[in-house]
Structure 1
Amino acid sequence: MQANATHPISDSSKQSINRTFWRYAIPSVAAMLVNGFYQIVDGIFIGQYVGYEGLAGINMAWPIIYIFAGIGLMIGMGSGSLLSINRGQEQASSSTNKGTLAQSLKTNHTLATAAVLILGFGLLGSLVLFMSGTSLLLAQGGTGNTLILAQQYLAPFSWSVTFTILASAIPILIRNDESPNLATGLMVMGACLNILLDYIFIVQLDMALHGAAIATVAAQIAVASCGVIYFLSSFTKMKVSNLTLNFANMRFDIKLARQILLLGSSSFVMYLYTSFVFALHNRLFMEYGSPVTVGAFAIVGYLMVLYYFVAEGLGEGMQPPVSYFFGAKQTENIKKVLVLATKVTITAGIAWLLILNLFPSTIIGLFNAEDTSLIQEATSGIRLHLFAMFLDGYLVLAIMFFMAVNQGKKALGISIGNMLIQLPFLYFLPPGSVSKAYGSPCRSLMC
């Protein structure tokens, strides 16, 4: 009992539960919002200085990049959850040196295994982009200048997939090392660097989508490098990390690798689903609409993803204390954190939905205020595509919860179920909407 009292999230009072949740949630949401913001800034620069074809091009490249970000989230959430569970178990068994030593050894194995997984998936991802990048764009219906612009954006990522994965995973690992503010600081730094480089490469040097991609890759390399330095500090006198690491204990564990991938697989499926749905929308919009329609959907996607990042940030903020309480067998505290996170997530979704519907032209004008057809298409997309967005936020939170309590199969089931329900509608509905009064193709996001 004494051991638990020394831990910052072991107090079970309601006030302490609220304080603990917000201690993790605020930095996590801030970090995710910053991450979403600089992606949106990419879209704003492209929309203002390249136009709707640039927005269409980046919207075709992002489903591919999103898969690698999903792999990073899978590894980060899987290994991060294990780190926090280990911390809770270590605190609960701190009365015995044997139990503490066993948990410390598992922590070393977990971090080493995560590092090997990141490197392996990164090298494999680069190979896929080199060999099949253009084919993946063609599968989405990319043609003409839209295809060329998408290729320009994709090219710099072909050699930097490892950094894309690492930049997605490492803030989660740092957050689970009891350093949520530092994790947020890293993402803020990456966002500021990305925005500055966007201005230099897109506005000053007129490098269009190629410049936007270089700016994003540079920011990811900076975040990944600082995160690695953070953990390597454990082996020096200038220690910053809270983990006790030992090179002799750092080894890859195949059993832990399976556990990490299973535990985080629902996050990957969630990203894979989003990537596939975006790619399928691109294909359908190019077939039944035009590049203007794809450009409008890119704007709608940016606005949708902004809320997803809020929900994801709340889920990631919920995860460390829930994982700790799970490891310490404090069931009542888990329920308190979950209820609080659910209320905040749904409220945020409804609030953002109201803002988008009350001021659509103002928000869309940030991307492009001159193309009236683009504004009309994006406004239609906001009203028809995002009306139940807050429920998606609840699904994101549910997935994060089951990962936090080491029930990866349930989390994976939610992700797959969401996909299986929506995909048939995307297959059957668009062809039935092709004909209007005179049999002309459907030109809006949803006819």
Structure 2
Amino acid sequence: MNRKNLHDLNTLPVKTLFWRYVTPSIAGMLVVGLYIVVDGIFVGRYVGSHALAAINLIYPVILLQIGLGSMISMGAATRISMLQGAGKIKQARQALSNTILIITALGIALPVIGISQQESILRLLNADHDPAVLLEARSYLSLMLWGGMVTIGQMAVIYLLRNDGRPKLVTALVTAGALSNIALNYLFVVQLGWGLAGTASATLLIEGLITLSGLVYFFSRYANLRMSLADLRPHWQSMPSMLGLGFSSLLMELNLAFLLLAHNYQLLKYGKGADIAAYAVAGYTEAVFILLVHGLALGMQPILSHATGAGQQQRLAQTLSYGLKVSLLLSFVLLALVQFFPQAIATLYAGQDQTLISSASQALQLHLFALPFDGVIIVGVIGLQAMALTRLSLFGTLGKTLVLIPALWLMPQWWGVNGVYTALPVVNVAIGIMISWVLWRELRRLKIICA
């Protein structure tokens, strides 16, 4: 991070600094959300509801990869920001070296382990309940396992380029990627008829280009935290602390993977295969919301981590408080769109399939009624991580899982498929209230210190 960026982090008004970092981060996540929406539209309209079901059944494995990427990226970004805030540039470069080497190791391990167990994974995920679903799921899973390195790598690029003072470059990369994704999906899915394999190929090709661009950047003269080949060696002692800072992000994604697996299991038990496709539509929409709020929280991360490392308690409290207010405003706007226009959203994915439109509209309204509480959880967990309050952030992630397990078991017994749809939002209300209390207590402590 150059002197100007450090000076801005130390001196600019919090709201000005907030929007400088958050705007490109949200824009970047909006573009990533466009990836998801485009994939869902092409799959739903040109492959069919069985392909939507296949994606939903396989997605826990993808979330595992995303979780590993989040742990590495969030841990590295937080560690690097704190080290730079404390003026320890050599150690920050070591953290970047560790990040590159860990991603490379995982990129080799994931396909080696996953491909050898592919059929067992498909059975575990219940992807074999329908031959048409199994065919699409098998090709999709295989490609995504082989591409694990670039899935993780492009996440790290987005985090680390932003931390290096290049948020506009991040926005440019993901915008170009999103536009290319539309073109490649049209080519692979519509023109060549590759099905889910076409969607996976489009995604991985773009992620690979973003990963390569980020790698080239950090070895170029344009990087503020510039690397050389001599720097590219492991620093074993600092790895555990770096990964520990991002561990909550891994647990958050593992939590999502487990919950998606549990939802799919209960939907097949109390409903039918078509309900998986309806839930997939709700899941696509929810993913766009989560990415938006993640963009907000991740934009705050460099500011929070720098203020923590520099001991700037007042700026820490102001940034966290302002971020929570913005996240609530965003959540209520999106909640209104989902509740008042569910059929319009469902039609994007279902085309002329009236049965899917009807069931997906119901899934959208029931599954997404607690968006404001979900927003508080996301901002709270990532904000606490950025402040190196790892144990408190773990409370939000683990608490959600522990409460949701019995809710997913009990509620469908009373309300069937609707009980599956409403279990998560009910839990989000409860956990959101608890996270709000934790954040209020932390803000109160910071204000007392500043007084």
Q: TM-score when scaled to structure 2?
A: 0.89
Distance 1:427 1:132 in 2: 28
Distance 1:357 1:49 in 2: 27
Distance 2:168 2:189 in 1: 31
Cα 1:399–1:6, aligned 2, differ >3 Å: closer, same or farther? closer
Pick one of 170, 181, 202 that aligns with 1:215.
202
Report % sequence identity.
Answer: 32
Alpha carbons 1:288, 1:443 under 8 Å: kept:
no
| 2:30 equivalent in structure 1 | 33
Distance 1:446 1:411 in 2: 24
Alpha carbons 1:293, 1:443 under 8 Å: kept:
no
State the AA in 1 paired with 2:147. Answer: S
State the AA in 2 paired with 1:87. Answer: Q
**How many correspondences in the alignment?**
419
Task: List aligned pairs for 1:38-117, cutoff 5 A.
Answer: 38-90=35-87, 103-117=88-102
SS of the counterpart of 2:224? coil
Residue 442 of structure 1 and its aligned partner are, at CA, apart by 8.1
Alpha carbons 1:377, 1:445 under 8 Å: kept:
no
| 2:163 equivalent in structure 1 | 176
Distance 2:394 2:119 in 1: 30
Distance 1:415 1:283 in 2: 21
Pick one of 153, 161, 168 that aligns with 2:148.
161
Alpha carbons 1:56, 1:291 under 8 Å: kept:
yes
State the AA in 2 paired with 1:60. Answer: L
Distance 1:284 1:264 in 2: 31
Residue 243 of structure 1 and its aligned partner are, at CA, apart by 1.1
Alpha carbons 2:73, 2:160 under 8 Å: kept:
yes
Distance 1:251 1:208 in 2: 41
Distance 2:192 2:392 in 1: 49
Distance 1:52 1:377 in 2: 12
| 1:98 equivalent in structure 2 | none
Residue 446 of structure 1 and its aligned partner are, at CA, apart by 6.1
SS of the counterpart of 1:334? helix
State the AA in 1 paired with 2:337. Answer: I
Pick one of 362, 380, 395 that aligns with 1:398.
380
SS of the counterpart of 1:7? helix
SS of the counterpart of 2:79? helix
Residue 134 of structure 1 and its aligned partner are, at CA, apart by 3.0
SS of the counterpart of 1:10? helix
Structure 1 unmatched runs, 5+: 91-102, 234-238, 435-440
Structure 2 unmatched runs, 5+: 424-451
State the AA in 1 paired with 2:16. Answer: R
Q: Cα RMSD over matched residues?
A: 2.0
Residue 127 of structure 1 and its aligned partner are, at CA, apart by 2.1
Residue 444 of structure 1 and its aligned partner are, at CA, apart by 8.6
Q: TM-score when scaled to structure 1?
A: 0.89
Cα 1:244–1:216, aligned 2, differ >3 Å: closer, same or farther? closer
Distance 2:239 2:68 in 1: 13
Residue 268 of structure 1 and its aligned partner are, at CA, apart by 1.0
Q: Which runs of 4+ in 1 moved over 6 A?
A: 3-6, 441-444
State the AA in 2 paired with 1:381. Answer: A
Distance 2:173 2:4 in 1: 30
| 1:94 equivalent in structure 2 | none
- Kindly indicate whether residue 126 of structure 2 is the aligned counterpart of residue 141 of structure 1: yes
Residue 187 of structure 1 and its aligned partner are, at CA, apart by 1.5
Give a deviation string over 1:228-283, Cα, whole Å, max 9, x none.
011111xxxxx111114354444312232111211101111111111111122112
Distance 1:175 1:445 in 2: 36
Give a deviation string over 1:376-416, Cα, whole Å, max 9, x none.
21111122111112211111111111221122222222211
Alpha carbons 1:86, 1:327 under 8 Å: kept:
yes
| 1:97 equivalent in structure 2 | none
Identify the range of structure 1 (253-262 vs 69-78) with the bigger mean alpha-carbon deviation: 253-262
Give a deviation string over 1:178-203, Cα, whole Å, max 9, x none.
11111222222222222211010011
SS of the counterpart of 1:395? helix
Give a deviation string over 1:414-438, Cα, whole Å, max 9, x none.
211111111211123224445xxxx
